[in-house]
Chains A and B, each alone.
Chain A
Amino acid sequence: MSDSLKFAYYPGCSGTGTSMEYDMSTRAVCRELGITLTDIPDWSCCGSTPAHTVDHTLSCALSARNLQLVENMKMDTAITPCPSCLTNLKTAERRMKDDDMRDKANKLLDNPYKGGVTTKSVLQILVEDLGLDALKNKTVRPLKGLKVAAYYGCIMNRPPEVMNFDDPEHPMAMDNIMTALGATVLPFPLKVECCGASFGIPRKDVVMNLSGKLLDAADDLGVDALVTACPLCQMNLDLRQSQINSATDAKHNIPIFYYTQLMGLALGMNEKELGMNKLCVSPRKAINAIGSENK
């Protein structure tokens, strides 16, 4: 089985910086599960939101350079943990099938992209290619006693015609992974609402409002932690949680894990390897809750 689980890997710019623990835990978990990741050599930025707000051909070219590098690797599937990179790569993958757009975007590139690379999220291949049973079999430290809610953010599954994975209004991939690992998963009503995205810097008020609502909902549910799959969501909820508390007169103290970090714990890895020390809101209480049901 593990022979087929080989993918070109696109870490994304934040994976080398502010979401380092996502990248670390993704690599660690994949290694443990027999999924081989080969980094796309010399990958570059997909342009993220700023590029597509300026021009679609520019945005397409920035992503297509990376798809072309995957072609060079003689591989057909690239995976990335970051939903923003994913949406850009997938949109480019789709737009580059149009002759006119492919011509225009390839004119901006040194090496033209022929087409034919598929992009998926790490989350998608864990659920679809590896499967929950394989995950259960590898679990050595079930997350029993830990109450979590899964927050997907806005673009992991939307729009459905482009993303082609899970349900755009009610995704369950992370919920199912957490359940398979033994955690108690509470249904999170705001699972696909936007956190305020990259407006943290230019319009902090917007993020305070939107991320504040997410934290309020999480507290109302009484969860020990939120589980995320997006570097920007995680950063807004974790790094900015103290700002949100001051701005909205709240007292949230909710650890915000990447789902891969909790997967790693269940697979028996150590906290350092999973970058637990890189979270701003201390995960200690949540981690200590694991196993409490058994005592």
Chain B
Amino acid sequence: MGIVNITKSYDADFVRQVEEESGQDLALCYQCGNCTAGCPYTFAYDYPVSKIMRLAQAGQKETVLKSKSLWLCATCESCTTRCPNNIDVAHIMDVLRHMARREGYAPVPTVKKFWDSFLDSVENNGRVFEVGLLAAYIAKTGRFWTDLDLGPKILPTGKMHFKPHQIQGKEEIAKIFKRYKEGSRK
């Protein structure tokens, strides 16, 4: 990950903010590497999870928030389960993603677009509408060929519905999102 000169780039506010939002003590991480050893996603990450922890301790805000790893973590909870110091590492990854989002970073755009399409579907229908989600994702990314080969496999099973399930509380769900968005703008 190159040389980090922490005397110049240590961001104390960032460290405090991560600790506050996650309720975790970053200083407890002594870099044993157990989280990375168990993480199935290291092969796709730019920084393994133990390095994200180290960079966070060292207050390297920009490097951490720009990292692809935050967007490729699936929250499989193996890091949290195996941390010998009981640090909820997956929770910290989640909080870092929240911060990255707020700062406008999305270094793995397809993942962000997929998650956003998913939540739009929930906001509009109250439940996820799988076909609609797929269509929205394709519209956002232009990746219309992505799973074309699966059509002939799944269509005959009758599992894909072409209309969303309408729930009575649809408006209630839309209001959850509305209130959330209003609150986060303040």
Contact = CB atoms under 8 A, between A and B. Distances in A.
Interface string B24-38: 000000000000000
A16 B184 CA distance: 32
B158 interface: yes
Interface in B140-174: 146-147, 149-150, 153-154, 157-161, 165, 167-169, 172-173
B75 A203 contact: no
Interface string A15-58: 01111110000000000000000000011110111111111111
Given A194-B76, A201-B146, A16 B127 contact: yes
B74 A196 contact: yes
Interface string A256-295: 0000000000000000000001111000000000000000
Nearest to B182: A108
Nearest to B179: A108
A4 B143 CA distance: 50
A18 B150 CA distance: 12
Nearest to B167: A42
A149 B168 CA distance: 41
A144 B154 CA distance: 30
Contacts of B110: 202-203
B51 interface: no
Given A45-B122, A51-B119, A160 B81 contact: yes
A226 interface: no
B143 to A, nearest CB: 9
Contacts of A243: 149-150
A17 B130 contact: yes
B48 to A, nearest CB: 15
B84 interface: no
A280 B152 CA distance: 10
Nearest to B170: A44
Given A54-B101, A107-B179, A17 B159 contact: yes
A65 interface: yes
Nearest to B134: A201
A5 interface: no
What DSSP secondary structure best describes chain B's contact surface? Answer: helix
B165 A16 contact: yes
B62 interface: no
Interface string A69-94: 00000000000000000000000000
A284 B94 CA distance: 42
B81 A54 contact: no
A53 B150 contact: no
B160 A65 contact: no
B128 A55 contact: no
B147 A18 contact: no
Given A197-B76, A278-B157, A45 B150 contact: no
Interface of A: 13-14, 16-21, 42-45, 47-58, 61-62, 65, 107-110, 154-155, 158-160, 168-169, 192-194, 196-206, 209-210, 239-240, 242-243, 277-280
Given A44-B127, A199-B111, A280-B154, 14 more contacts: A16-B165, A20-B157, A42-B167, A45-B128, A45-B173, A48-B128, A51-B119, A53-B115, A57-B180, A65-B172, A107-B183, A108-B179, A155-B75, A196-B40
12 contacts: A17-B161, A18-B130, A21-B159, A42-B169, A50-B119, A53-B115, A57-B180, A108-B179, A158-B81, A196-B40, A201-B114, A202-B113
